[in-house]
Amino acid sequence: MERWKGRVALVTGASVGIGAAVARALVQQGMRVVGCARNVDKIEKLAAECQSAGYSGTLIPYKCDLSNEEEILSMFSAIKTLHKGVDVCINNAGLAHNEPLLSGKTEGWRNMIDVNVLALSICTREAYKSMKERDVDDGHIININSMGGHRMVPSADEHFYCATKYAVTALTEGIRQELREANTHIRATCISPGIVETEFAFRHHNSDPEKAAAVYESIKCLKAEDIASAVTFVLSAPPHVQIGDVQMRPVEQVS
């Protein structure tokens, strides 16, 4: 991770869970991390914790609604002005709604597409543009995917969400191919966790907290820090090594 010290990383959805853990890990490694979310109160608290811990990097909170392209573009403009640009883009933000394919509300479907697919694509495009403008040829785009992007969960509540994560799998490979066609050494990686103990299930099953709790009580789940370790592992790979897809799940998880 030595070569990343002082470099700029963008982490979307950095207020809680995996995003917060990744932001903390990168700051600990000496990176300047722009952590964005719709609500930055928790990111500001995390930034203070990182500073108090004496980490060599810095965490810069940025308020951004990723379902709004104008806000994303404004964020990248601010990063360019204040920090020159993005060297590492961690597309972590994602959400799920209980909207089955046969009875779900279009609004919920659209919100999942806006955040899980379009925001990821827009951030990737703008990060690549930022790298090219500054002749950065060793940048990295890391998409936090899901095992739901590789197999369909047998639960109607999850089907549309899984479809958006299948899109992330396809997009990551498409990005990799386009980067190769552009004769760049910028890399693209997909990290696909199984069940991770975060606030995700409680947001997904917000009307049934007992169901959400049961998700995490059934087995020993992954922790957000496990995913952060995977991110630092991927970034630590030698520049000539392309890690395409990291699939990780709890030992006890069946599928």
Give the separation between CA 227 and CA 25, rounded to whole angstroms. 10
What is the arrangement of strands in the sheet containing 58-63, beginning at the earlier edge strand?
A: 58-63, 32-37, 8-12, 88-91, 140-144, 187-193, 245-248
The residues assigned a catalytic role are 161
Which CATH fold would you assign to the domain 2-248?
Rossmann fold (3.40.50)
User: What's the pLDDT score for residue 199?
Assistant: 75
User: What's the pLDDT score for residue 242?
Assistant: 95
User: What's the pLDDT score for residue 198?
Assistant: 81
DSSP string, 135-168: T--S-EEEEE--GGGTS--S-GGGHHHHHHHHHH
Sorted by where each begins, the domain ranges of the chain are 2-248
- If the chain, 255 residues long, is cut into consecutive pieces of 10 residues, what is the mean pLDDT of each piece? 96 97 98 97 98 98 98 98 98 96 98 98 98 98 97 94 98 98 98 89 68 79 97 96 95 84
User: What's the pLDDT score for residue 53?
Assistant: 98
Give the separation between CA 149 and CA 106, rounded to whole angstroms. 21
